[in-house]
Chain A
Amino acid sequence: MTMLRIHVSDRIKVSGKTSVGVLLGSLLAGLAAVSLIFVLSGVNPFYAIFKIFTGSFGSWYGIKETITKAIPLILIGGGLTVAFRAKFWNIGAESQLLMGAICSTWIGLNWGPHLPAALIIPMLFIAGFVGGGLWAAIPAVLKTRFAINEVISTLMMNYICAEFMTFLIVGPWKGKTKFGFPYTDDLPASATLGVLPGTRIHWLTLLIAAACVLILGLVIYRTRFGYEVRVIGENPNAAKYAGIDFFKTTLVVMIISGGMAGMAGVGEVAGIHHHLSYPDAISSGYGYTAIIVAWLAKLNPYYVPVSSLFFAGIMVGGDAIQISLRLPAATVDVFNGTMLMFLIMGEFFLKNKIWIQRSEKAGV
């Protein structure tokens, strides 16, 4: 009796070709799955996917919006590459962004009217970095000192921060000029980030994001600290043997990651909304989307802008199909979720070789 047997064995060498092949294969399989879901939901998959991409890259407006949405993704995604490389699963970027937004709003509202823009703007970004960084340092300490799983602690921090922020905007920080809406007052003009004319692109944040990504790349690949982070991620046992200090490294890593998310929050408040409102409106799920951005960039900061633009495009495209196909914005989440699933499932093929063999089933 002939039998087909599936062999699975450890793959020792991973060539560049295999990596790219697996990536493309995962993306294609993901697209196929997404199309299937669309078909089953009564949506024309080709049209929907087409619309997503033309909505984001097919028009000037689309491109401008895509860049705008890519800015926070680049910042957060960049920071996450460092955290993930140290095997610290930072799911809390959402709240690190919000803490940055909160701290910078405080600075902006209280000192904005009294100081010139040249002073205020840097203060905003510093406050954002500090706010996000300190908020992220807490789960870092919880993990290294108390062995608390960082996935859960950062998740909890997200919710605590969101509730705290809502408390602020409907309570003590409620805008006096806002007629009962749950917003804070607008930031004064000096605390507002300029945008490129005709767009919503707050260019200063974009520059900061680009600079950060370049710096991060330098740090990871060219500094001693980055080296230590990479060793921890590669082999924690070897890191211990090499004398690397886990506590210090994890703390610094998280301050960087949280700080960058915080600066993204500054960008959103000072550049887009100009006041604080409900957490969802400010963070828009960037903290979670950035996880996929970092993953897709293979944790390489230099690739983050590319994957950020890609996912920003999908977000903008999602808005587009909301209008033209009257599909809910949530459709984009279907796309993101499915693609991410296939990406991580594809990693199995990077670690293992599969082949099918015809064999005669011998009488054993």
Chain B
Amino acid sequence: MEEIIISTAQRTLVAGTPLLLGTIGEVICERSGILNLGVEGMMAVGAVTAFIVSYVSGNPWLGLLAAIAAGMLVSSAHAFAAITLQANQVVSGLALTMLGLGLSGLLGKPYIGRPLTVKFESVAVPVLSDIPYLGRVFFDQSPFFYMAILLAVAAWFVLNYTRIGIKIKSTGESPQATEAQGVNVSAIRYWCVVTGGGLAGMAGANLSISYSKSWIEGMTAGRGWIVIALTIFALWNPMRAVIGAFLFGGIFVLQYLLQPLGISPNLLAALPYAATLVVLLMIGLGDSRKLNAPAMLAEPYKRGER
């Protein structure tokens, strides 16, 4: 029995890691006021890039770096369209999702079925992983898990306790007021979008070179959309994102666990999305000021406009 609990807990953390990585990126992006619906595509591009580069070079760390770079590249197209050209952010994100998914399918085709021998294996943290129960769950995970946790803490710290964090948040709340203080709104937004893209790429790398052993098309399986839902569920707060990511991850794992008990995995799988709607409802009903949505999210900003 306890084996089941431990393995469930482990698998929950594993499932939640790519969600967390993607969400941290999207939180940063949306905090600066830009809505990025292209996360799914950027994750896919990251996944395929990581796989190919790791396969060809034999070095998974190189694959990871390439994936981050690929995510940043694709997201910079969104940044250009949304910030400089003031295009409709919704459509731009959707277009990049299509493009990203297509690219990953196209580029990954020759690699389908080929096993990757140089993937990221779990790393046991010395001493800590010997703690009974908790040690095996928390401290014997893929390096991605540790990186995700560190990144979440770093993002939370930067957003709340540094000057750049205040600038980012201000840009999302009121670009006019921020610009009036001499801050370059466009530059901040570019940085945030590209950072978000890099993290999405990293999440994709997690899927292809840590989570699974081989490449299949459609590896991201809609996780990018969950990231977008998670961002709201986490109320644009990186620490809440940690809880949310593992909560949603847990639901995925539980789906199959509870199936023999007669609970439909599909209805469980619908929970994260329904939960997001409930959160939105609460924001809509309550005083939105207390619930943190960046006030100018997805509104194009032109310098000099009131």
Residues of A within 8 A of B (CB): 37, 41, 43, 89, 91, 142, 145-149, 151-153, 155-157, 159-160, 163-164, 166-167, 170-171, 288, 291-292, 295, 326-338, 340-341, 344-345, 347-348, 351
Which chain B residue has the least Cβ–Cβ distance from A339? B95
Q: Are A336 and B98 in contact (CB under 8 A)?
A: yes
In the bound complex, residues from chain A placing their C-beta under 8 Å from that of B277 are: 142, 148, 153, 156, 160
Known: A159-B270, A335-B102. Contact between A171 and B280, CB under 8 A? no
Known: A155-B228, A341-B77. Contact between A348 and B86, CB under 8 A? yes
Mask: chain B, 63-99; 1 = CB below 8 Å from A; 0 = not: 0000000000000010011000111101110111111
**Closest CB of chain B to A312's CB: distance in Å?**
16
Q: Are A166 and B266 in contact (CB under 8 A)?
A: yes
Assembly CA distance A76 to B225 (angstroms): 22
Q: Does B165 contact A (CB under 8 A)?
A: no
In the bound complex, residues from chain A placing their C-beta under 8 Å from that of B217 are: 328, 330
Q: Are A327 and B270 in contact (CB under 8 A)?
A: no
Known: A156-B276, A159-B270. Contact between A337 and B98, CB under 8 A? yes
Return 15 A-B CB contacts under 8 Å, by A number: A43-B106, A89-B90, A146-B281, A148-B277, A148-B280, A148-B281, A151-B298, A156-B273, A327-B109, A330-B217, A331-B102, A337-B96, A341-B92, A344-B95, A345-B85
Q: Are A164 and B103 in contact (CB under 8 A)?
A: no
Which chain B residue has the least Cβ–Cβ distance from A329? B105
Assembly CA distance A85 to B298 (angstroms): 18
Q: Are B270 and A334 in contact (CB under 8 A)?
A: no
- Considering only residues 24-78 of chain B, those with a C-beta below 8 Å from chain A are 35, 37, 41, 77
Which chain A residue has the least Cβ–Cβ distance from B282? A146
Q: Does B204 contact A (CB under 8 A)?
A: no
In the bound complex, residues from chain B placing their C-beta under 8 Å from that of A166 are: 266
**Closest CB of chain A to B161's CB: distance in Å?**
29
Which residue of the partner chain, among B88, B102, B298, contacts A334 with CB atoms under 8 Å?
Answer: B102
Q: Are B105 and A333 in contact (CB under 8 A)?
A: yes
**Closest CB of chain B to A142's CB: distance in Å?**
7
Assembly CA distance A243 to B264 (angstroms): 48
Assembly CA distance A249 to B143 (angstroms): 52
Q: Does B116 contact A (CB under 8 A)?
A: no
Assembly CA distance A347 to B99 (angstroms): 19
In the bound complex, residues from chain B placing their C-beta under 8 Å from that of A340 are: 91, 94-95, 98
Assembly CA distance A43 to B102 (angstroms): 14
Which chain A residue has the least Cβ–Cβ distance from B95? A340
**Closest CB of chain B to A113's CB: distance in Å?**
27
In the bound complex, residues from chain A placing their C-beta under 8 Å from that of B273 are: 156-157, 159-160, 163
- Considering only residues 246-291 of chain B, those with a C-beta below 8 Å from chain A are 264, 266-267, 269-270, 273-274, 276-277, 280-281, 283-285, 288
Across the A-B interface, the 9 shortest Cβ-Cβ residue pairs: A330-B105, A337-B99, A333-B102, A146-B284, A337-B98, A334-B102, A340-B95, A167-B266, A163-B270
- List 16 additional A-B contacts (Cβ < 8 Å) besides A149-B298, A292-B95, A340-B98: A146-B281, A148-B283, A151-B298, A155-B229, A159-B225, A160-B270, A163-B270, A170-B266, A288-B94, A336-B98, A337-B95, A337-B98, A337-B100, A340-B95, A341-B95, A345-B85
Known: A329-B105, A348-B85. Contact between A142 and B281, CB under 8 A? yes
Which chain A residue has the least Cβ–Cβ distance from B85? A348
Which chain A residue has the least Cβ–Cβ distance from B78? A341
Q: Does B115 contact A (CB under 8 A)?
A: no
In the bound complex, residues from chain B placing their C-beta under 8 Å from that of A89 are: 90
Q: Are B270 and A337 in contact (CB under 8 A)?
A: no
In the bound complex, residues from chain B placing their C-beta under 8 Å from that of A333 are: 98-99, 101-102, 105
In the bound complex, residues from chain B placing their C-beta under 8 Å from that of A328 are: 105-106, 108-109, 217
In the bound complex, residues from chain B placing their C-beta under 8 Å from that of A292 are: 95
Q: Are A160 and B105 in contact (CB under 8 A)?
A: no
Give the interface centre of A326, A331, A333, A334 by most chain B CB atoms within 10 Å: A333
Q: Are A41 and B96 in contact (CB under 8 A)?
A: no
Q: Does B150 contact A (CB under 8 A)?
A: no
Mask: chain B, 100-128; 1 = CB below 8 Å from A; 0 = not: 11111111110000000000000000000
